[in-house]
Amino acid sequence: MKLPSLDPSTFSRLLGVVSDVTLVMDLQGVIEDVSTGRDTMAALGCQAWVGRRWIDTVTTESRIKIQEMLQSKGTPDLMLWRHVNHVSPLGNEVALQYVLLPLDGGKFLALGRDLESLAELQRRLVETQQSMERDYLRLRHIEARYRVLFDTSSEAVLMVDASSQRVLEANVGAQSLLKETGKRLVGRDIRECFEGDSQGEVQSLLRTALATGRIEICSARVAGLPSAWTVSATVFRQEGGAQFLVRLVTRDAVTQSPDAGASETLSEAMERFPGGWLLTDTSGVIKSVNEESMALLGLTASSQVVGQNLERWLLRGSVDWGVFNTSLRQQLPVRNFATGVRTLSGMTLPVEVSAVYLARPEPTYAFFVRDMDRRLQGGVLTAPSRATPFADLTQLVGRRPIKDIVGETVDTIERMCIEAALELTHNNRASAAEMLGLSRQSLYVKLRRFGMVAEAEADAS
């Protein structure tokens, strides 16, 4: 390629495009001029290199590369880009890539490119690879724990594909229970594992579990066994689609406990209880709900609420939960606590909540919820003979100015509301202030005005 002669300004602009740092040196490698094409190179202090040897501006391991480039004298056969590290005034290393070109008059031209962006990509690549290796190792550990639990379970457990209804995995208990000469369990249709009169029940069980997302249970006869078994199906989703976790428990094992019959009756009674109830752990995570609670919250499946925190559904959130948790943690029952709940659609409903602490089989909170709107519509609190509140105040008309009557009444109502909030929150004034819609300072002002707190205590707050 034949290029016309370039004037100095054009040549300088060309160097600024093809390189980030340009050095002009004599044959001994002493830098005579420096030009930077990027503002970021100013932090490297390149202008201070003028008058210094090029080899003195680099780190120890890069000195041999500088010597080799100067010895090659820019010979075309030996013109290679070399990676060199400089030390910045801040003490950190900056990576550049150089190539050396000979100039007329016994000079050298060194073109340098900034490798910081490439180094950043390399660092990110290494960090990503290390993160993937950690995730892979964690998944290996999770899979190992799952496999141990799966194979050592005393129950027969199957993994079933939801679309084909074929067995994907079976633990040792399932293989021992459902083994049949000449047939492998994995890959078989799940219905083939049951007697003909029970296959319809199993088919209906899987369809219902897939539609509702809940744990469904039925009774079925296993192929080759005389007694009926309890079959439960739980649906979960993976990358390949929906799958079922099917468990088989002998009915003898279910009924071997002397209290099993009473527990089953109690469970059915609570499921059909006309009021709503929820079971949570001691941190507030919902474990179970009945149909009435689901209807109250506007839900279609228990999976929409199970696993979530109760605070998410309470009108006052952490304030209401703090009242419940404080009492229940001390194993004190909560009776007729007035609050509100948020439905799935965002509506707010007034409710009345009672709660108890259950110690067995593990610490649990049981909440009983009543819809106050339904009570009012049913006429429970609308008896015509009910007296008008503060009816005695009408006797003061004509004796005292209405301004004094209203002022005293407001003070009385404020005091009653503050006393009720303090009682509900067990004298937790921060929670009481939030429940009343007041700041803590405003609450202490009212407490001091009503003589409900000592002067020194109010000032310390």
HEC letters along 294-348: HHHHCCCCHHHCCCCEHHHHECCCHHHHHHHHHHHHCCCCEEEEEEEEECCCCCE
Q: What phi and psi, each to the nearest 5 degrees, are found at residue 125? A: -65, -45
395 and 370 fall within a common domain: no
Q: Does residue 109 share a domain with residue 189?
A: no
Asked if the structure places residue 366 within a domain, the reply is yes
Taking the alpha carbons at both ends of the chain, their separation in whole angstroms is: 85
Closest CA to 209 of 220, 219, 197, 217: 217
pLDDT mean across residues, the chain: 80
Domain with 426 in it: what CATH number? 1.10.10
SS (H, E, C) 236-260: EEECCEEEEEEEEEEHHHHHCCCCH
Judgement on whether residues 338 and 413 belong to the same structural domain of the protein: no
State residue 385's pLDDT score.
41
Residue 121, domain member (yes or no): no
Structural domain ending residue among the three candidates 347, 377, 407:
377
pLDDT > 70? residue 377:
no
pLDDT surpasses 70 at 12:
no
pLDDT at 440 over 50: yes
Domain match, 365 and 399 both: no
- Helix, strand, coil shares, percent, the chain, to 5: 45, 25, 30
277's tokens:
């109830």
Which among 234, 255, 276 is the end of a domain?
Answer: 255
Share of the chain above pLDDT 70, in %: 81
For residue 386, what pLDDT band results from cuts at 50, 70 and 90? very low
Residue 129's pLDDT is 92
**Whole-number percent of the chain with pLDDT over 90:** 7
Q: Are 270 and 373 in the same domain?
A: yes
290 and 250 within one domain: no
- Separation of alpha carbons 331 and 429, rounded Å: 22
Q: Which two tokens stand for residue 393?
A: 């105040």
Res. 422 pLDDT band, cuts 50 70 90 = confident
What is the rounded CA–CA span in Å between residue 137 and residue 408? 71
Q: Assess contact for 223 and 192: CB atoms under 8 A.
A: yes
Q: Is residue 9 part of a domain?
A: no
What are the tens digits of pLDDT across the range 145-168?
888 888 888 788 999 998 888 998
Q: Six-digit token pair at 73?
A: 């004298």
Residue with tokens 């941190």: 283
Confidence of residue 266 (pLDDT cuts 50, 70, 90): low
Confidence class of residue 256 from pLDDT cuts 50, 70 and 90? very low
CATH number of the domain that 88 lies in?
Answer: 3.30.450.20
229 and 180 both lie in a single domain = yes
Name every residue whose Cβ is closer than 8 Å to that of residue 147 and which is 6 or more positions away in sequence: none
Is residue 455 a part of any domain in this protein?
yes
- Show the domain range for 311: 266-377
Based on the fold, state whether residues 188 and 246 are members of the same structural domain.
yes
Q: How confident is the model at residue 383 (pLDDT cuts 50, 70, 90)?
A: very low
Across 389-416, average pLDDT: 71
Q: Residue 380 — pLDDT band, cuts 50, 70, 90?
A: very low
SS3 139: helix
Number of compact structural domains in the chain: 4
The pLDDT assigned to 382 comes to 42
Domain end among 317, 348, 377: 377
- Considering the domain architecture, whether residues 205 and 226 belong to the same structural domain is answered as yes
pLDDT the model gives residue 255: 46
* 85 inside domain: yes
Q: pLDDT band at residue 396, thresholds of 50, 70 and 90?
A: low
Do the domain assignments include residue 270? yes
User: Is residue 237 included in any domain, yes or no?
Assistant: yes
Question: In sequence order, which residues have a C-beta less than 8 Å from that of residue 249 and are 6 or more positions away?
Answer: 155, 156, 229, 230, 232
12/447: higher pLDDT: 447
Angle at 104 between CA 103 and CA 109, to 5 degrees: 15
233 in a structural domain? yes
Question: In 3-state terms, what secondary structure has residue 104?
Answer: coil
Tell me the residue type at 98.
Y
Task: Read off the amino acid at residue 421.
Answer: A
The model's pLDDT over 293-338, given as tens digits with 9 standing for 90+, comes to 888 888 888 888 888 999 889 988 888 888 888 888 888 888 888 8
Q: Over the Cα atoms of the chain, what is R_g?
A: 40
- Read off φ and ψ for residue 386, nearest 5 degrees: -65, 135
pLDDT of residue 294: 86
